[in-house]
Amino acid sequence: MQTLPQVKSSPSNSSDNSIAPLISEAKKHFQINASKQYRNVILDQQAYLSFPPHIIHNQIPAGVYHPSSTHHENFVLSRVSTRNNYNDDVDQDMLDLLAALGEEPDTYRELGTDYIRQIQKEQQINYLGSNYFPTHKYNLNLKRVHEGIINFLNNKEFYEENNLGFKRSILLYGSHGVGKSRYFEFLVYQLIKELSAITIRIDSSQDVKLLNDYGLLTLNRVIENRLIILIIEEVASIVTGRDGHIGLLNILDNSLLRENLLVLSTTNTPSRIPSNVLRNQRVDVLEEIRADNYNDQFPIDFYQFIFQEEFPEKYRDSEWVEMKLNPADLKELFLYAKINDVDIDTSFKQLKKRNRTVENRFQATNHLGF
């Protein structure tokens, strides 16, 4: 059996944690296509308006989209997650929105939809921003996942030569706050920036239905040689119902999504996911992320990242340094200290008190969190 070759990459020394030097092979294969036209395929490119033309170019901008629909079309790639349909003929609503956003309504009156395109062109994709602390460099399991994804992206030729579908599905599981979603957000931001990836968030069984009923054929017709990323937060909440369960299986198996696909999913409760969702070729990588996966240097470097100063010696033997807090608790620990101008040990007392309150007074609902 052939094994996936390892592609050697020079380590990145970029201050913004860019993965660009690591995916030089992948960049050969993904680009925005030459312009074509398709009728009755609609793309909502704005973050605040569904403004559907009935002819679009397939030069779909890289970015994050949600499955949606309008009263004109059954399937829309939308910049915002919404079930509301906009009345395309009500110009005054458009003018009010532009005014609220600090744009120029008078210019819109003169230029119409050309002004919309101008705004869209000027706006830069900014899913996260660049201020990301590289948790995956401190967590053994996240690091293994990261290296596997980089290796997958750099080996498209291997998949093509062996007639294998170029797709990979990763599920991260573990308690809330350990950094699963935050890592995926960083990765998606980088792949949008470097590979012009099109990311589609699946947040509900209704999104699954839209993608199955209308979206798969649309994506297959319009998007060629582009990396498609499906983000599925809390898979367990989607597969608890029969429609979501069957729909997700169809998405993971569908031949229309056989190429150039990366599925990134999370759950807090893997026990609630049916085993047939997790079989090989539906989910290729299962990785548990825990607070104790983080190495001893993590809280020290994270402190320096938040406070932009050297780690104080007085905290070296503090309880919070040694007890392997998850990233969410550690961040709150530092932010509480900074906002309230108290030392970290005092902040830690408040954190413990808060966590005890949650544990004692609120029903456990881990399955709802990400």
* 336 & 266 share domain: no
Domain housing 358: 296-366
pLDDT at 142 over 70: yes
The residue type found at 249 is: L
The least confident of 161-175, 192-206, 219-233, 310-324 is 219-233
- Listed residues 237, 270, 292: the one ending a domain: 292
Residue type (1 letter), 72: H
Residue 327 forms part of a structural domain: yes
Reported confidence tier of residue 196, pLDDT bands at 50, 70, 90:
confident
Are residues 209 and 195 both part of a single domain?
A: yes
pLDDT digits (tens, 9 = 90+) for 218-229: 777 777 778 999
Residue 230 belongs to some domain of the structure:
yes
Buried b (16+ CB within 10 A) or exposed e, 2-41: eeeeebebeeeeeeebbbeebbebbeebbeeeeeeeeeeb
**Same structural domain for residues 242 and 134?**
yes
Q: Which of 87, 122, 157 is the last residue of a domain?
A: 122
Domain with residue 187: its CATH number is: 3.40.50.300
Specify the pLDDT at position 29.
Answer: 81
Residue 9 within any structural domain of the chain: no
Does the structure show a pLDDT above 80 at 69? no
Indicate the pTM of the whole model.
Answer: 0.76
CB-based contact 271:288 (threshold 8 Å): no
What pLDDT, on a 0 to 100 scale, did the predictor assign at position 99?
57
Q: pLDDT confidence of 112, banded at 50, 70, 90?
A: low
Average pLDDT over the chain, rounded to an integer: 77
- pLDDT of 288 > 90? The answer is yes
Same domain, 150 and 103: no
Residue 32 in tokens: 């925005």
Considering 166-180, 232-246, 346-360, the range whose residues carry the highest mean pLDDT is: 166-180
Residue 107 sits in the same domain as residue 213: no
Confidence band, pLDDT 50/70/90 cuts, at residue 82: very low
Lowest mean pLDDT among 47-51, 186-190, 309-313, 351-355: 47-51
